[in-house]
With several copies, the nearest count.
Chain A
Amino acid sequence: MTEKVIIAGFGGQGVMLSGMLLAQAGLLRKREVTWLPSYGPEMRGGTANCHVTVSSRPIASPVILAPDCAIVMNLPSFDKYERQVVPGGLFLVNSSLVTKRSGRKDFRVVPVPVNELAQELGNAKTANMVMLGAYAGVSGALDRELFIKALEVIGGKKDHLLIDANVRAFDCGMEYVTGGYCGEIGA
């Protein structure tokens, strides 16, 4: 089994870290994984995306041209990746910044207002983790324990507060898509 995910957004939205966590979680499950980033010229505010492949077989190319899932955190990414997702695939959209709707009917679109959700949690910077939680919830491809372990491997175990905040955000995203969300966001 091979799962190919593209995560894209503005630089600074944390899409790279999300992808690394996905890859690290895959490695912890003894899968083959690759993570391939791509940046625009800006240090902050530019566009950025990463390609994450998790597979039970050796991975030929780390480049994903037809993702099983695309997670788009802003409008340019929406426009760029909408068409690439395979039929039957998954399209997670940051609806805080993207109000546009997809014309495609052959895949599953899941809008998540991650900025609002994160702000509500009191930590605007964890919007990426909210989205990762949503991805986990919708796809079933990432479980909570592995996510926490991956966080510890990549971030180091020291910063408990940070880990806690991220896990809270992850849970919030997961709950949002699995219906358990009980915050105050309309729509």
Chain B
Amino acid sequence: MGKVLMKGNEAIGSAAIRAGCRYFFGYPITPQNEVPEYMSRHLPEVGGVFVQAESEIAAINMVYGAAGAGGRVMTSSSSPGIALKQEGISYLAGARLPCVIVNVMRGGPGLGGIQPAQSDYFQATRGGGNGDYRIIVEAPSTLQEAVDLMQESFDLADRYRIPVMLLCDGMIGQMMEPVELREADRRPPVEKPWATVGTGGKRKPNIITSLYLNPAELEELNLLLAAQYREITERETRVESIGLEGARVVVAAYGTTARIVREAVDLCTAKGIPVGLIRPITLWPYPYAEFDKIGKDCLGVLCVEMSMGQMLDDVKIAANGRWPVHFYGRTGGVVPDPRDIAREIEVIAGRRPV
């Protein structure tokens, strides 16, 4: 299939359907409205179901029901709507249900604004809901990557029985870029012997629950989850990095911000400053180990986000005192200027007075 010019949100919807998603439950919110709109038009074409829920809370609980019933299911929303889904996400994690959740982030806190932001990093990677759980969080930086990660998200969700979040800033959702969509997934659906599909009178009832009143049992669930989280960390961490070896400064950034940082890196390279870039693709599991590849010339690590500094925590943990960690961020929908980032890099590289 050739490249087509598509809006990010629609590309996400289209990729989901190609990945076998057949159930979508959502609620309108800018800047992700084209996702449900696309699904409402195109899911019926493949025998799928679109339901506009009465709220984000209803939507995530419909996802819970459908996932528990064995459906390949997804929802999407944006920042405040995702905040409302936190209890539901915690339940999905506790009941070990596979699903895909798209967050097209906008500025916050509160109602905030509708312009692109990356200020839901904590909410996504630390679990805004209650309890010791994690979900896989993937952050595309181009529409092509968003489309490719969509198939992977559904596969990971089913493989590990875990919710997967596609964390996009508003730019990914709203921009148009040429994308190459893949063929529809024609593999047989994953077996889900645990799903509630009716016993048919032939087996013991299946139960989907996250309730364990006996502390020992609840701890067992948590240990099982933890073991699985370790496995996912080992096997599914994704990252892209460039120029770490000789870099004097390494920048860490994800999503669209990483593209903006690339412009800054180019500006610096042009000035003869070797700069490396670490672009986490999975935000959880976080590619801590990638930082071990940073060469000995590095003077400092700069974390750049469209937020006041949230991934910064992970960068500090990864740096573990080996290099000073710096931060540059813009927030509220303001997009960083590559020239400003380049200036920060130069300061760290010692090229400019602070």
Contacts and interface: CB of A to CB of B under 8 A. Distances in A.
Q: In their complex, do chains A and B touch, with some C-beta pair under 8 Å?
A: yes
Interface of A: 20, 23-24, 27, 32-41, 59-63, 65, 153
Given A27-B5, A40-B213, A65-B337, A35 B259 contact: no
Interface of B: 3, 5, 114-115, 171, 174-178, 213, 256, 259-260, 262-263, 266, 335, 337-339
A60 B251 CA distance: 15
Contacts of B259: 59-62
B12 to A, nearest CB: 16
Contacts of A37: 174-175
B214 to A, nearest CB: 9
A102 to B, nearest CB: 23
6 contacts: A27-B5, A27-B178, A34-B177, A60-B338, A61-B256, A62-B259
Contact of B114 (A24, A39, A62, A153): A39
A23 B213 contact: no
A28 B39 CA distance: 27
Contact of A24 (B5, B175, B256, B260): B5
B263 A38 contact: no
Given A24-B5, A27-B3, A63 B177 contact: no
B115 A38 contact: yes
A153 B115 CA distance: 28
Contacts of A35: 5, 175-177
Nearest to B143: A34
A25 to B, nearest CB: 10
Contact of B338 (A23, A38, A40, A61): A61
A59 B335 CA distance: 16
A39 B30 CA distance: 10
A40 B215 CA distance: 11
B176 A20 contact: yes
A38 B170 CA distance: 10
B171 A63 contact: yes
Contacts of A23: 5, 176
Given A24-B5, A36-B174, A60 B263 contact: yes
A60 B262 CA distance: 6
Nearest to A154: B5
Contacts of A38: 115, 174
Given A23-B176, A27-B5, 4 more contacts: A34-B175, A34-B176, A59-B259, A62-B177
Contacts of B266: 60
A14 B175 CA distance: 16
A35 B4 CA distance: 13
Nearest to A41: B213
Contacts of A62: 171, 175, 177, 256, 259
A156 to B, nearest CB: 14
B299 to A, nearest CB: 24
B283 to A, nearest CB: 20
A33 B260 contact: no
A61 B169 CA distance: 13
A33 B177 CA distance: 6
A33 B263 CA distance: 16
A34 B176 CA distance: 6
A100 B343 CA distance: 35
Nearest to B257: A61
B123 to A, nearest CB: 24
Given A27-B3, A38-B115, A60 B260 contact: yes
A65 to B, nearest CB: 5
Contacts of A63: 171, 260, 335
A41 to B, nearest CB: 5
Contacts of B337: 65
A39 B339 CA distance: 25
Q: Which of B114, B177, B259, B260 has the most CB of A within 10 A?
A: B177
A133 to B, nearest CB: 21
A40 B212 CA distance: 11
Nearest to A20: B176
Contacts of A36: 171, 174-176
A60 to B, nearest CB: 4
Nearest to A42: B213
B175 A61 contact: no
A5 to B, nearest CB: 14
